[in-house]
Structure 1
């Protein structure tokens, strides 16, 4: 006599498989829903932060306009330079600090066209770096390499300057910019620069979208006096 296979056991296996598949689908859908909710929340927070920053910018411009009303010069005795302004928010506050963009040594002045073997801006940068307890040789290496990094050609024109051959030989090769800096952080890759010196230079230098060296001495503070010393080196000594 031929007996049929147990149908009850087979049905139980099918039910368990279906339950497992349904649980897997449910968990997957739940995870995707949580991800979508997280994305939506992040987008909302980003938009809120964007509006907060736009409001802070508007308040800063308003304060600056009031400070400079009927003023011919920009200086640190004006209200805009009195320190950070704080604006309360439901979950914190915004701090707005204004700083004169011309109270610094413009590194892009090195990009000025010149027929000199070494532009005046390079000599001034050497003087500035030397005043940060940097040996003269290293200061000259950094300043000349930065000039070679910024200038339009790819030829080494200075005694210590470095061009593409130096940077292409590194573990992560790259070409010199051969154009004005977009940000001062670019000088971190220049030959001779390190993190410690970069941190010392940050409050003193900038990368303005122009090649003129136009410093507002009325907005320099005491810690930036070395900029003036460097500009008039060697006639003005500390």
Structure 2
């Protein structure tokens, strides 16, 4: 053996081992650096989301205060052209902005008031024919309106016998994602998308007039904030003696600044000829019982959207009644 050659091979092997060790250490260091960077990034995003969450919580409290402040001195009397309903309220905060848009939430028909049987009778309950007529006044064909009323009733009632135009478990079990009718009142309007017949086109036509409350009662309509699109709502809840055209004319001819009270509205030419037994005067008001708010929190980490609703208490003050995150 030649000593010089053996030493050269050993040195080469040692160098190769050192290089391999350096590569392994570099790879480990790179992985650790990448993991640390990801951890920092996740922490920043998490911190940003937490910040947006607390900003939204703060916006709910501030929104309640602003709502009551803007209505101070005028009770809960809102008109369709009130600044509160037309102009968003913007709050800056360190990481972005909070935008709150208020809207009338009293003017709707609570679908949980639909009468399902003899035990549901009550002054605040809605007869199926009234709901069907409202759907027709909103532009739906008669058969479509009947289907929507019957499938809704079947969705909520406890029995499994379908109505004439309705649908029960036998229909829903055949869908791509099989399910059953829950047999209980609605939890939210989003449930309608699961009910037979309620396609996006029909839902868009009905959206301005529908709501879901956890109680089987309707909040009185604020006649001073009704829009033309809600004319069918006025005929459904106040009097079937009004046609949609009558209701539209009433809304269009509303006095500047709104009706002073319900009594003044009842003196309107088209309303005065309706006998009291054909009217539901208790369904009307010149005050808002519910006001909704769409809250958008914009920051460097993204956008958070919250839907909230405020309810007027017995003292006339609005308090937060509920909120949830909105998609989008």
TM-score normalised according to structure 2 size: 0.62
Looking at structure 2, the residues matched to 133 and 31 of structure 1 have their Cα atoms a distance apart, in angstroms, of 59
**Matched residue of 1:98: which SS?**
strand
Greater Cα offset, 114-123 or 192-201: 114-123
Whether the 8 Å contact between 2:162 and 2:168 is mirrored in structure 1 is no
1:226 counterpart residue number: 232
TM-score normalised according to structure 1 size: 0.83
Deviation for aligned residue 1:236: 1.9
Greater Cα offset, 70-79 or 86-95: 70-79
Deviation for aligned residue 1:116: 7.8
**Bigger fraction of residues in helix:** 1
Deviation for aligned residue 1:192: 1.0
**Matched residue of 2:118: which SS?**
coil
2:107 counterpart residue number: 103
Provide, for residues 17-41 of structure 1, a one-character-per-residue CA deviation record: whole Å limited to 9, x for no partner.
Answer: 3233223212221222122112211
Instruction: Give structure 2 stretches of 5+ with no counterpart.
Output: 245-328
1:11 counterpart residue number: 14
1:52-131 equivalences in 2 (<5 Å): 52-69=55-72, 73-76=76-79, 80-90=84-94, 92-110=96-114, 114-115=117-118, 120-131=126-137
Provide, for residues 151-193 of structure 1, a one-character-per-residue CA deviation record: whole Å limited to 9, x for no partner.
Answer: 2x13225211111221111011112222222221110111112
2:177 counterpart residue number: 172
Deviation for aligned residue 1:207: 1.1
2:204 counterpart residue number: 199
Looking at structure 2, the residues matched to 199 and 35 of structure 1 have their Cα atoms a distance apart, in angstroms, of 43
2:160 counterpart residue number: 155
Q: Name the count of aligned residue pairs.
A: 236
Looking at structure 1, the residues matched to 20 and 156 of structure 2 have their Cα atoms a distance apart, in angstroms, of 67
Matched, 1:217 2:222: yes
**Matched residue of 1:181: which SS?**
coil
Looking at structure 2, the residues matched to 40 and 226 of structure 1 have their Cα atoms a distance apart, in angstroms, of 51
Looking at structure 2, the residues matched to 233 and 190 of structure 1 have their Cα atoms a distance apart, in angstroms, of 28
2:276 counterpart residue number: none
